[in-house]
Amino acid sequence: MHVTEKTYYDLPYERELTVRVVDIITDGKHKAVVLDKTIFYPEGGGQPGDMGWLGTYEIIDTQKKNDGTIEHVLSEGDVPEIGKEYRLMLNWSHRYDFMQQHTAQHLISGILYSSASIGTVSVHFGKDLFTIETDADEIEPTVLLAVEDKVNEIIRTHVPLQVKTATREEADTMGLRREVKVDNDVRLVSIGSYDTIACGGLHVRNSSEIIHVMCIGTERIRNHVRIQWLAGARTVDAMRTNHAIVKQLCTVFSSKDYELVPLAQSLQSQLTDARYHLRKAKVALAVESLKEKLACAENPIIAFECGDEEPEILRFYAEAAESFDDLALCIAQKRNDEQLSWVMVVKGPCAGSFDFSFVRQQLLPIIEGKGGGRPPLWQGAGTKSDQISLFLQRFIELFSREDLACTPLRKKSRIINYICSILLGLMHKEIWTGDKLFGKWCLLPCSFSLSMP
Ligand SMILES: [Zn+2]
């Protein structure tokens, strides 16, 4: 273990320091520098490790190992010399931002506890926001607003932070909102009388440096409410960004800001209607297209490649196929990723003894495809889009070759087949709701039954 002198607790605002390299640690691609002293805070307590530069070498993270060694992780490339002195420079905007977020979290957790009896279970500091997981299963919005207002009021009253060391016994008698987890001396951080807690992180000197806090949302996790917060310059950035967005939207829609939400709701409703009618129109077009193709075909068996770039076109054709009583249809479409999608609809007399497991064995390997479904619709994808023509041709052949598993359908037998399918359909029907089988009814000469699976 290398003992590095830590100056970040005594001098948390120090941005540069001359240091000596005492070791280089290499672990695969990962290279790290150990220094005689450091101003870089290693990741801990939810606060990320510091970043910066050692001379011209970039430090991308700081970590404390189990044996206490502080490693300054280098970006890829050359490494500094052992024994040589360098100027260690902190990425101050990164460090200060997290000092603001971290101190804001202390104050918010303190006020949640003292004013609403809400405890803090865990905290997480991200690059965009920080979160406080509470022990509450519900928090009224008015409570959150009151906490936010109270915290901002304390920020504006310039309350200095105090750090002192106490014994475990002393700390235990102070009624801290969070239990002390170490047995030896503890580092207590206080923000006036508003909050005191044992903490090994870095904080700003005065509450005013937090600038402002803003609650931006809540979510549920492990049956608790987790609150999302912004503090420091992040609140100013968010307000500027949001204001610019609202201003742009007002210009786009020639509206006042208070008109934007009802306007967006109205447009959303119109868009939903338009999409519904567009879909109906596209299905109607697909019906006409299928009618044209059937008029040119000797049998109601058609297969074609769809060149339309509309990704949903196969679904429109599948829906259009519902309008036909006697049809064997296969459509394939190349996708942007050079793969393909396919859909098959086989119904009425055409269905004969159509067996999809035969298709799975004989046709899908042509396109290295997969898929499934239930009568009368099957769909899937494939990777060999250059084999689409062969795939479609083989589908047609299924209905014309007697040596294949599908019963060949001759014109004469189609009429008998059609009558049989209507009778069978009347006698036995499955009722589907979405993808789930809801029930079956069976009409036999002497009985009627509705069975629930
Ligand atoms: Zn802290």
The whole model's pTM is what?
0.69
Same domain for 335 and 427? no
Strand 52-54, strand 85-90: pairing: antiparallel
User: Which two structure tokens, joined as six digits, stand for 41?
Assistant: 């805070």
How many domains is the chain partitioned into structurally? 4
For residue 51, the domain's CATH number is 2.40.30.130
Dist. CA 197 → ligand 1 center (Å): 8
Dist. CA 167 → ligand 1 center (Å): 18
Rounded Cα gap, residues 125 and 328, in angstroms: 58
Same domain for 193 and 233? yes
DSSP-assigned letters across all residues of 162-223 = EEEEE-HHHHHTTT-SS----SS-EEEEEETTTEEEE--S---SBGGGG--EEEEEEEEETT
Contact 108, 151 (CB under 8 A): yes
Dist. CA 120 → ligand 1 center (Å): 13
Same domain for 402 and 354? yes
Can you give the C-alpha Rg of the chain in angstroms? 35
| Burial bucket for residue 189 (CB in 10 Å: 0-12, 13-18, 19+) | buried
Same domain for 111 and 234? yes
**Which residues have CB less than 5 Å away from ligand 1 (the ion)?**
199, 201
Dist. CA 188 → ligand 1 center (Å): 9
Rounded Cα gap, residues 40 and 22, in angstroms: 16
Secondary structure letter of residue 44 according to DSSP = B
Dist. CA 360 → ligand 1 center (Å): 62
Dist. CA 45 → ligand 1 center (Å): 8
The residue range of the domain holding 177 is 96-239
Residue 359: the pLDDT is: 85
Q: Which of 60, 90, 120 is a domain's end point?
A: 90
For residue 402, the domain's CATH number is 3.10.310.40
Q: Which of 59, 90, 121 is a domain's end point?
A: 90
Dist. CA 95 → ligand 1 center (Å): 13
**Could you give the C-alpha distances from 347 to 77, 350, 353, 413, 418, in angstroms and in order?**
65, 6, 11, 15, 10
Dist. CA 189 → ligand 1 center (Å): 7
**pLDDT tens track of the chain, all 453 residues?**
778 999 999 999 999 999 999 999 998 888 999 999 999 999 988 889 999 999 999 999 999 998 889 999 999 988 999 999 999 999 999 999 999 999 999 999 999 999 999 999 999 999 999 999 999 999 999 999 999 999 999 999 999 999 999 888 888 888 788 887 777 888 999 999 999 999 989 999 999 999 999 999 999 999 999 999 999 999 999 999 999 999 999 999 999 999 999 999 999 999 999 999 999 999 999 999 999 999 988 889 999 998 867 788 999 999 999 999 989 999 999 987 789 999 999 988 888 778 888 888 889 999 999 999 998 999 999 999 899 999 999 999 888 755 444 444 444 444 555 555 555 555 555 555 555 555 555 444 433 334 343
Dist. CA 272 → ligand 1 center (Å): 49
The candidate with the shortest Cα–Cα distance to 286, out of 319, 245, 330, 311, is: 319
In a domain, 261, yes or no: no
Dist. CA 438 → ligand 1 center (Å): 57
Q: Which of 31, 58, 90 is a domain's end point?
A: 90
Burial letters 276-299, b for 16+ CB under 10 A, else e:
eeeeeebbeebbeebeeebeeeeb
Rounded Cα gap, residues 421 and 315, in angstroms: 25
Dist. CA 321 → ligand 1 center (Å): 65
Same domain for 193 and 171? yes
Q: Which residues have a Cβ under 8 Å from the Cβ of 341 and sit 6 or more positions away?
A: 314, 332, 333, 335, 379, 380, 381, 382
